[in-house]
Amino acid sequence: MNIFEELESEVRSYSRGWPVVFDRAQGSRVFDEDGKAYLDFFAGAGALNYGHNNPVLKQALLDYIQRDGITHALDMFTVAKKNFLETFKEKILEPRDLDYKIVFPGPGGANAVEAALKLARKVTGKESVINFTNAFHGMTLGALSVTGNSMKRGGAGVPLVHATPMPYDAYFDGQYPDFLYFERLLEDSGSGLNEPAAVIVEGVQGEGGINAASLAWLKGLADLCAKHGILLIFDDVQMGCGRTGPFFSFEDAGIKPDIVCLSKSIGGYGLPMALTLIKPELDVWEPGEHNGTFRGISPAFVTATEALRTYWSDDELEKSTKAKGERIAAAFTDIVKAYPEANLVAKGRGLARGIEFESGELAGKVCAAAFERGLLMETAGPDGEVMKLLPPLTVTDDEITEGLKIIDESIATVLK
Amino acid sequence: MNIFEELESEVRSYSRGWPVVFDRAQGSRVFDEDGKAYLDFFAGAGALNYGHNNPVLKQALLDYIQRDGITHALDMFTVAKKNFLETFKEKILEPRDLDYKIVFPGPGGANAVEAALKLARKVTGKESVINFTNAFHGMTLGALSVTGNSMKRGGAGVPLVHATPMPYDAYFDGQYPDFLYFERLLEDSGSGLNEPAAVIVEGVQGEGGINAASLAWLKGLADLCAKHGILLIFDDVQMGCGRTGPFFSFEDAGIKPDIVCLSKSIGGYGLPMALTLIKPELDVWEPGEHNGTFRGISPAFVTATEALRTYWSDDELEKSTKAKGERIAAAFTDIVKAYPEANLVAKGRGLARGIEFESGELAGKVCAAAFERGLLMETAGPDGEVMKLLPPLTVTDDEITEGLKIIDESIATVLK
Amino acid sequence: MNIFEELESEVRSYSRGWPVVFDRAQGSRVFDEDGKAYLDFFAGAGALNYGHNNPVLKQALLDYIQRDGITHALDMFTVAKKNFLETFKEKILEPRDLDYKIVFPGPGGANAVEAALKLARKVTGKESVINFTNAFHGMTLGALSVTGNSMKRGGAGVPLVHATPMPYDAYFDGQYPDFLYFERLLEDSGSGLNEPAAVIVEGVQGEGGINAASLAWLKGLADLCAKHGILLIFDDVQMGCGRTGPFFSFEDAGIKPDIVCLSKSIGGYGLPMALTLIKPELDVWEPGEHNGTFRGISPAFVTATEALRTYWSDDELEKSTKAKGERIAAAFTDIVKAYPEANLVAKGRGLARGIEFESGELAGKVCAAAFERGLLMETAGPDGEVMKLLPPLTVTDDEITEGLKIIDESIATVLK
Amino acid sequence: MNIFEELESEVRSYSRGWPVVFDRAQGSRVFDEDGKAYLDFFAGAGALNYGHNNPVLKQALLDYIQRDGITHALDMFTVAKKNFLETFKEKILEPRDLDYKIVFPGPGGANAVEAALKLARKVTGKESVINFTNAFHGMTLGALSVTGNSMKRGGAGVPLVHATPMPYDAYFDGQYPDFLYFERLLEDSGSGLNEPAAVIVEGVQGEGGINAASLAWLKGLADLCAKHGILLIFDDVQMGCGRTGPFFSFEDAGIKPDIVCLSKSIGGYGLPMALTLIKPELDVWEPGEHNGTFRGISPAFVTATEALRTYWSDDELEKSTKAKGERIAAAFTDIVKAYPEANLVAKGRGLARGIEFESGELAGKVCAAAFERGLLMETAGPDGEVMKLLPPLTVTDDEITEGLKIIDESIATVLK
């Protein structure tokens, strides 16, 4: 482990909780250099919805590389991109009656968010954006300015302005009407709130602590935006691609955001890829006004296309994700009941699940105990107080059984 | 081509000059879906220094995928990363007596720049940065704020502040002393220049028009920064990895920047990867203070490692790059002389070469004429007035001969 | 009136509602050039608490000018300033057990606010400030950024950032706990609220619509600030100098703000003067770090001193202000009751009183009707929906009777 | 002096160099509380061009106060304002063929600047402004952001952005072409310079070190602005009202700025007053979009009107100012010659004159020596290295003789 400590910056984080050197991976398992297997319930922070090195995607990827399919293609037209666009249209947009144009904003989720913010500001001529408490949208300057975490914000080194946080769903435990403060500020011309170009929101806040907005709240937000002429940017980077069941986490709310950000699992195999979907009337960019080097990584298009074909031609994955999610939810409810004095809270939707502990220390100890038992999990929330589960959607029932058993033991160890 | 026009945003750019659908690629050649070959003298805007689908790297990549080496690994410790770090240390840092810690800032060059700016501001407690006229550093908000192009800046939708542009080398054709204005502003406490945290500079400005700073100017800049306690950020995203001959484009200037940004060709095969190198004393980050999903793409580490071993174990590539560059430079000098009334200017260093025309229209016509003849080239400069050449460093002498012939013809066609 | 229309910018405002040319003034009366008298219940927007051309102050002023007392003295030591400081200490600070150092920030209230904001940021090293809905603090860039009115904010021409608005007292009609949102954002490290240097607040919002914060709310705010290490800036520019009864509008809340802004009536005679009072431990400025030309206008010191001696040597003025205020409040309550379908609301404290109408149009018509009857009143509130009364504190009972009669008639005319 | 040290903030500055308590003043003389006379060659930093308590203005002021002319009148129409407007039109605008509308922006020079910047941004829809090295425009946030002095800028506590400094005339001692850098940045769309709404400039930089721009440079700047569609804001707060000879310091350059800021001596008697003059086509403000409490201080209008009538009905004052200025300039040239090793530089225009020393310490010692001899002078320049003379324009020849003698002695004492 010497070379890491010697050369890698102290900013590294995940390696601190999992101090082993990983080598191979398959499905829900990763293996360290000594061959020890770990059950991965973190799945690349949601970038591996179809599991590690999914064999169907792997074969398509190998074939493409073998035949010297173009790898790096900027934003040129390519066969790989054509296939992806056609498949995305057929499997995703058309069945959901969604009419979006597609921006390839760069390789990662932050690029998708940066492009969304830039476009919203350009279209509206306004600079201000509304974000939500405990939001996470990325670490580049634009994305960071709409992210909540104060430690990460502090890294900017410049004041992060142009965004005003509003309370996310259930921020006051349902005691106060949704959007009370937000709507009042919008309607009061003396409120001092800069008129916003856009609202940016996640369907379930992953980094923020597995906070699942109710569908009613999401619908209410979309209505509020429509009423006040505010663009709705839906950041589905982590919760899209089926994480909560449907392909988009906003589908069940019956809304059609103006702009949608996708990344993480969109490439299918863990290769960097991102999309910004925009309503056609917002497509006011000049050619090249937003660009970048890694917007046409064809291998990712190939695996993305194969993933869409394999998993989104019917509703099997959506159903199984919801079913698996319910199973975990039920198990978590039992855990919560089992420790009445620990004030645990079960959270989440679909296969984004969590248990909130009274402190980050406790949640961290649970994850550490799980790691010792061969299970990879991470914490989330402002103080790391939520044990977070993002297993591959392809996780088997046996693996869920195995994982839940480790979780039970780990919590028991920590809470005595 | 329907699906592209139907679904892709108008922001697409390269596909406008090259309206064919590419499919395969090998070395300096790309092939469209009808099998037509093109000589690629753009090479992914510098992301393909070792050519398309380089066979040595390809084999390493296939092997890694075949054996289910972990693909996506956040910033966990992996065998692939270990190998990369050890090789980077052995082949790059140690021979050049460079002492850097390595940040994996995210998948692309803009992430490397964003991390550099954040760190420089955090370390110094200052927010202001000096950039240079016609700089290009990326399209995310922090990187865009230090980029010169006004059209791209306009896309931000918020005022881009915290940066003040200074004249790049030869901005006034050498008539005025280097750093005259910059140094005077720094030394005059009444100048109104906010004290800068850092300077960010490219060794050769690619997007800005293949402007090659003299080594003396780069040395002078480093000295100026040292004298005034300003951090020097060297953006070697496009000109690093051997583009100008040596691995880093600053080597021949005899300087050691405080922070270095690498991306594009560092992955070797065109897969997204980026590094921010920082002097050890700057490594003040909290764990996770800068993070991201795509900081551990192992296939890119594998091809990066293989590229370092193959091309940077000796000085063959550096020598051949310089020699090929000189050959092109000589040819360009001849072209300049051949059209005395066209006021052409030959520009560049190593295998970053260009010819400046009197207008963007002329340069664009030359590139269009070259495309018709099967050569891919792009324009650069604020008005696109520079015909830009960034061939793979592995380009053969025959390919250079072929390309130069097309260029000759294309220019002749346009200039009569 | 030609010369005004010819030469004065369209930005002029008060002259639009009162299209006559005023000439002389005495006590609560102003006279136009034709000698017509108007009862002035606006009193220079609170700058004339002791009435127009108060005879006691007038004599002191004439004496000072006659004897060639220095008029303009920058921030030099002067006899006039010495007398003011000694009197302010004796009559204001010591009886209230207040320990402040005094900054002379410039001639007007906005200067007092700008100095307060600068100092709070310098002391804390933080840039963000909390302001309140419908706040008014001035029109210079720093003061404007903490002002609520969207039309006035729009005049800035740059994004107004660094401030986040919180709900002022009773913003949700008392249905939700005070400070619920504010405190939650402060305590949640993931809220996305930049840690504030300071809170800036008015005791009664005059321009915002005669919104009188309850004393409990003000106390709660001071406690919240103390608990979270946030500086409390109290803008008493309009409500200080006895407008609500006590010299400072915060006295009855039992709090001692960290910084207090005074202007308007502090000079006594309507001459420009302003003070920023700061707790001694905040006095970290370098000599000249904040300066200005008009910080030592001795005639204003002379009338200010005379006003303090005359009106603040006992509690007569405070008592009479409260009594007169109660009398007007009672009259307004009757009016509210008399028009049950008009949804009028009586507002205010001390001699800052108002009636809220259902629209700015109605309130404007009432003020116009009053002007026709010889009474000067203005509107306030985000849509100008509040008829605002700020009579001189020296207004006589007969004048109040006269004014209330005109108000009765005017409202009757408008509401039929 | 106890009460000052006890109560006044450490930010006080002028009182540090002149530690006596002043009481009365007349013409060029001020008197301390013990009756000791001082010759005042600072004149309120240029606010007292007509001398202290000028008897003609004093009589008009006394008459106005005696007859209860309205003192404080917001922006209402008043007889005092009417008289001022008519006189300003007749004596100032018409004879110079200037067509301006007049904004009453607030009581001080910073207000005039803030209004100018706001309007320029509103009219152009651009946020960026060009200022000059060593500019001084005021201490409120907008004005401070275009001010050069780093100590004063540091007091802001927020990053001062939206302005880029350009070299003032002779910044490089005439070795490089005027506007070389500025024009190149404007014409290069890749320069990274945000397109400016306006340029703000002083005719002679007073605080910056008595730097007198050449008339050719001012003309060149106006031409450059016109060519590039940039508004020219001329800050004549200190150098207007005859300080350099003509009423406006830009007159002799033959230019007509888009916006002109006046304050300091415009009121004549040292009472706070300010004007922003704007070309009629720029008058796009909404009523009340910029406002303030102290925009209609009638006593200042009265003395301003009397000053215009008395001093600007013919060109006597302009001529005598220039003549007196030349006399001082000649004396300063002799001084410079007398100390060849001291590297003194004589600077200025009209009655804004200075001698630059090699350090702020030397200039400070000269001013201290002068104070001991009964002469008030201040230093200017980024390091206080310039001994600055701003005597009343009404200074007599004998007073000049007396002052120059003290200066001679003081310099001799300091330089040996």
Q: What is the pLDDT of residues C273-311, one digit of tens each?
A: 999 999 999 999 999 999 999 999 999 999 999 999 999
Q: What is the mean pLDDT of chain C?
A: 97
Is C34 in the D-facing interface, judged by CB distances under 8 Å? no
Is the pLDDT confidence value at A175 over 90?
A: no
Q: Does C158 touch chain B (CB under 8 A)?
A: yes
User: pLDDT tens for residues A79-113?
Assistant: 999 999 999 999 999 999 999 999 999 999 999 99
Residue A1's pLDDT is 55
Boundary-marking domain end, from C246, C277, C311? C311
Contact B161 D159 (CB under 8 A): yes
B145 and B281 share one domain: yes
Interchain contact, D192 vs B382, CB within 8 Å: no
Instruction: Give the mutation candidate from C128, C169, C181 for the A interface (greatest A CB count, under 10 A).
Output: C181
Closest to B125 in 3D by CA, of B289, B284, B234, B288: B284
CA distance B94 to chain A (A): 12
Q: Does D76 touch chain C (CB under 8 A)?
A: yes
Q: What are phi and psi of A117, to 5 degrees?
A: -65, -45
Predicted local confidence at residue D173, as pLDDT: 82
The contacts of residue B208 (CB under 8 Å, 6+ apart) are: B133, B134, B135, B136, B148, B168, B202, B380, B381, B382, D190
Residues from chain A that touch C383, judged by Cβ atoms under 8 A, are: 189
Read off the pLDDT of residues B254-273 as tens digits, 9 standing for 90 and up: 999 999 999 999 999 999 99
How many Å apart are CA B231 and CA B240, to the nearest integer? 19
pTM of full prediction above 0.95: yes
Q: State whether residue B160 sits within 8 Å of chain D by CB.
A: yes
- Confidence bin at B1 (pLDDT 50/70/90): low
Of A127, A150, A194, the CB nearest to C190: A150
Q: Does B158 touch chain C (CB under 8 A)?
A: yes
In this prediction, residues B280-308 reach a mean pLDDT of: 97
Q: Which of residues 272-301 of C touch D (CB under 8 A)?
A: 272, 278, 283-294, 297, 299
Whether residue D68 sits in one domain with residue D32: no
DSSP string, A30-92: EEETT--EEEESSHHHHT-TT-BT-HHHHHHHHHHHHTTB--B-TT--BHHHHHHHHHIIIII
pLDDT at D416: 80
Count of pairs with CB atoms under 8 A, one residue in B, one in D = 113
> Any idea what the CATH number is for the domain that residue C405 is in?
3.90.1150.10
Amino acid at C384: G
Query: Cβ contact (<8 Å) for C209 and A190?
Result: yes
Retrieve residue D159's tokens: 């990053």
pLDDT at D1 over 90: no
What is the reported pLDDT for C1? 55
Among chain B residues, CA nearest to D125: B159
Structural domain ending residue among the three candidates B311, B334, B354: B311
Distance from the D170 Cα atom to the nearest Cα atom in chain C, whole angstroms: 27
> Above 0.85 for ipTM, yes or no?
yes
Query: Considering only CB atoms, which chain D residues are within 8 Å of C37?
Result: none
B96 in the same domain as B148? yes
Instruction: Kindly list the residues from chain A whose CB atom is less than 8 angstroms away from the CB atom of residue C150.
Output: 189-191, 195
Overall domain count for chain B: 2
pLDDT tens-digit profile of D339-397? 999 999 999 999 999 999 999 999 999 999 999 999 999 999 999 999 999 999 999 99
- Where chain C has pLDDT below 70, the residues are 1
Rounded Cα distance between C259 and C284, Å, is: 13
> Which pLDDT score is estimated for A177?
85
Last residue of a domain, one of D258, D283, D311: D311
Q: Identify whether residues C283 and C330 lie together within a single domain.
A: no
Would you call B59 exposed, middle or buried from its count of C-beta atoms within 10 A (0-12, 13-18, 19+)? exposed
Residues of B in Cβ contact (< 8 Å) with C156? none
C124 and chain A in contact, CB less than 8 A: no
Neighbours of D176 (CB within 10 A): 17
Same domain, A120 and A224: yes
Tokens for D288, please give them: 């009340």
Chain C residue with CA closest to D149: the answer is: C289
Question: Are A74 and A40 within one domain?
Answer: no
Q: List the CATH number of the domain containing D157.
A: 3.40.640.10
* Residue pointed to by tokens 């040996």: D416
Instruction: Specify whether B123 is located in the same domain as B240.
Output: yes
Q: For position A257, what pLDDT does the model report?
A: 98
Instruction: Print the domain residue range for B122.
Output: 60-311
C160 and chain D in contact, CB less than 8 A: no
Say whether D159 and B127 touch across the interface (CB within 8 A): yes
Contact C23 D70 (CB under 8 A): yes
CB contact under 8 A, B195 and D149: no
User: Does B190 touch chain A if contact means CB atoms closer than 8 Å?
Assistant: no
Residues D229 and D344 in one domain: no
Asked whether residue A85 falls in the same domain as residue A217, the answer is: yes
C-beta atoms of B82 and A4 within 8 A: yes
Residue pair B233/B120 in contact (Cβ under 8 Å)? The answer is yes
Two tokens at B130? 């000096």
Give the contacts of B397 (CB within 8 A, at least 6 positions apart): B324, B327
- Can you tell me whether residue B233 is helix, strand or coil? strand
Domain shared by B14 and B95, yes or no? no
Interface of C with A in 337-396 (CB under 8 A): 381-383
Kindly report the nearest CA distance between residue C190 and chain B, in angstroms: 13
**B159 to chain C nearest CA, in Å?**
8
User: Which chain B residues have a beta carbon less than 8 Å from that of D176?
Assistant: 176, 180
Cβ-in-10-Å burial (0-12, 13-18, 19+) of D263 comes to: buried
> Residue B175: what pLDDT?
81
pLDDT band, very low/low/confident/very high, at A399 (cuts 50, 70, 90): very high
φ, ψ dihedrals at A300, nearest 5° = -70, -35
D374 shares its domain with D409: yes
A176: nearest CB among C134, C135, C176: C176
Residue A159 in contact with partner chain D when CB distance is under 8 A: yes
- Residues B270 and A64: their CA atoms lie apart, in Å, by 14
C235: its two tokens? 């803008």
Structure-model confidence comparison of residues C238 and A173, the more confident one: C238
Question: Quick one: D220 and D80 in the same domain?
Answer: yes
pLDDT in tens, A214-266: 999 999 999 999 999 999 999 999 999 999 999 999 999 999 999 999 999 99
Query: What is the C-alpha separation between A340 and C136, in angstroms, rounded?
Result: 50
Which secondary structure element, helix H or strand E, spans residue D215, and what is its range? helix D215-228
Q: Could you tell me the two tokens for A130?
A: 């509304």
pLDDT at residue C177, rounded to an integer: 85
Residue of D nearest to B196 (CA): D159
Q: pLDDT tens, B61-106? A: 999 999 999 999 999 999 999 999 999 999 999 999 999 999 999 9
User: What gap in Å lies between CA C138 and CA C131, rounded to an integer?
Assistant: 13
Alpha-carbon distance C79 to C10, whole Å? 42
Interchain proximity C68–D75, CB inside 8 Å: no
Three-class secondary structure assignment of D233-289: EEECCCCCCCCCCCCCCCHHHCCCCCEEEECHHHHCCCCCCCEEEECHHHCCCCCCC
Chains that touch A (3 or more CB pairs under 8 A): B, C, D
D195: contact with B, CB 8 A cutoff: yes
Q: Exposure pattern of C164-187 as b/e (b: 16+ CB <10 Å)?
A: bbbbbbebbeeebebbbbbbebbe
Residue of B62, B76, B110 with shortest CB distance to A292: B110
Model confidence band, residue D105 (pLDDT cutoffs 50, 70, 90):
very high
At residue C131, the 3 state secondary structure works out as: strand
Contact (CB<8Å) C192/A162: no
* CB-based contact A135 C192, cutoff 8 Å: yes
With tokens 């693996």, the residue in question is A399
Can you give the pLDDT at residue D176? Answer: 84
